[in-house]
C-alpha cells in the first residue's frame, strides 16, 4: 500500500469514527434513540450505548472530541497533527474513539515512514 493510500485510509477511519461519535451522542442527547434505532426498546440503554457512545459517557465531551477529530482529520499529513485525533479518541472512547485512534496511529506511522524514505 502506498503512502498516499495509507493517508486516505487513515482519513476515512478518523472521519467514520468522528461521525459515529457525533451522531450517536446527538441521538442519545436528544432522547430519540428509541425512535431512530429499530427495536431499541428491547435492549436497555445501559447495554448498547456505553459500548457505542464512549467511556466518558458525557455527551458534550464526546461531541466536542468528535468535532475536533473531524476538523483535524484534514491535516494528518503533519506529524504534530496526528496526535490531535489520537488524543481525541482517547478522551471519547467507545467504537468511534477506537476508529479515531487506529486512524491517527496509521497516519502517524505513515508520516514517520514517509520522512525516512
pLDDT in tens, 16-30: 999 988 988 888 888
Please provide the average confidence, as pLDDT, over all residues in the chain: 80
* pLDDT 10s digits, 67-78: 999 999 899 888
Read off the C-alpha cell for 25.
451522542
Average pLDDT, stretch 82-106? Answer: 90
Q: Tell me what the mean pLDDT of segment 3-14 comes to.
A: 88
Number of structural domains the chain divides into: 1
CA distance 103 to 84: 11
pLDDT band at residue 33 under the 50/70/90 scheme: low
Cβ atoms of 73 and 83 within 8 Å: the answer is no
Distance CA 21, CA 64 (A): 9
Range of the domain at 25: 3-116
Amino acid at each position: 500500500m502506498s503512502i498516499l493510500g495509507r493517508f486516505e485510509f487513515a482519513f476515512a477511519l478518523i472521519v467514520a469514527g468522528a461521525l459515529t461519535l457525533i451522531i450517536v451522542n446527538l441521538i442519545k442527547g436528544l432522547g430519540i434513540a428509541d425512535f431512530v434505532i429499530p427495536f431499541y426498546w428491547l435492549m436497555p440503554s445501559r447495554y448498547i450505548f456505553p459500548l457505542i457512545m464512549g467511556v466518558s459517557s458525557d455527551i458534550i465531551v464526546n461531541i466536542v472530541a468528535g468535532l475536533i477529530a473531524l476538523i483535524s482529520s484534514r491535516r494528518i499529513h503533519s506529524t504534530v497533527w496526528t496526535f490531535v485525533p489520537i488524543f481525541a479518541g482517547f478522551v471519547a472512547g467507545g467504537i468511534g474513539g477506537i476508529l479515531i485512534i487506529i486512524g491517527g496511529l496509521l497516519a502517524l506511522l505513515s508520516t514517520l515512514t514517509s520522512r525516512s524514505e
